[in-house]
Amino acid sequence: MITNRYTAKEQGFTLIELLVVIAIIGLLSAVIVASLNAARLKADDTQRISELHQIRKALEIYYDTNRSYPTGSFDSRNSSWKTFSNYLVPAYMPKVPVDPKNGGGEGAICGNCGEYFYSSNGQKLIISTYLAINNSPTSNQYGPYYSITANCAPTSFWTCN
């Protein structure tokens, strides 16, 4: 006959077993949170790129109507973006997009993300934004960026002469 060495009061998990289970759950949740954060940053980048393409399409219609692009350099993080918006709203698009995070960037991960730039001399243009994830072949000291150009060197970021 096999007898059990433990009585009913002594059966259960030990403190060590419980701590190991809690540690494993904590480790798994940390991995999941990191994956979700990367997916969120990638989604923000996708939205930024999509918005640049929307602006480009509106600028193409503007060019077809006026035979030139709006001239000047505009930055979405200052009041010049409102001036740029006046060229396109409401005739060419209902609203000129701003950063998915309202121009606030991504803090330490990506301090310049979502800062939209537009520069044109009337016949050439460049529209650019910084990205959070470095999946872009173009980069400068502020990080990876995405640019759309028309008759302008794709390597320029600040100006299109």
Measured in degrees and rounded to the nearest 5, phi and psi for residue 127 equal -125, 130
Structure tokens at 132: 């959070």
The pLDDT tens digits of the residues spanning 1-13 come to: 566 665 656 678 8
Structure tokens at 16: 């060590």
The pLDDT tens digits of the residues spanning 131-153 come to: 877 765 566 656 677 888 887 76
pLDDT band at 28 (very low <50, low <70, confident <90, very high): very high
88, 48 contact by CB (below 8 A): no
Q: Where in the chain are the domains?
A: 15-150
Cα 115 to its chain centre, rounded Å, is: 9
Q: Give the CB-side neighbour count of residue 41, counting CA atoms within 13 A.
A: 20
CA dist., res. 144 & res. 136, Å (int): 6
Q: Is 2 helix (H, G, I), strand (E, B) or coil?
A: coil
Q: Give the residue with greater pLDDT, 130 vs 69.
A: 69
Q: Is 158 helix (H, G, I), strand (E, B) or coil?
A: coil
Burial class (CB in 10 A: 0-12, 13-18, 19+), 12: exposed
pLDDT band at 109 (very low <50, low <70, confident <90, very high): very low
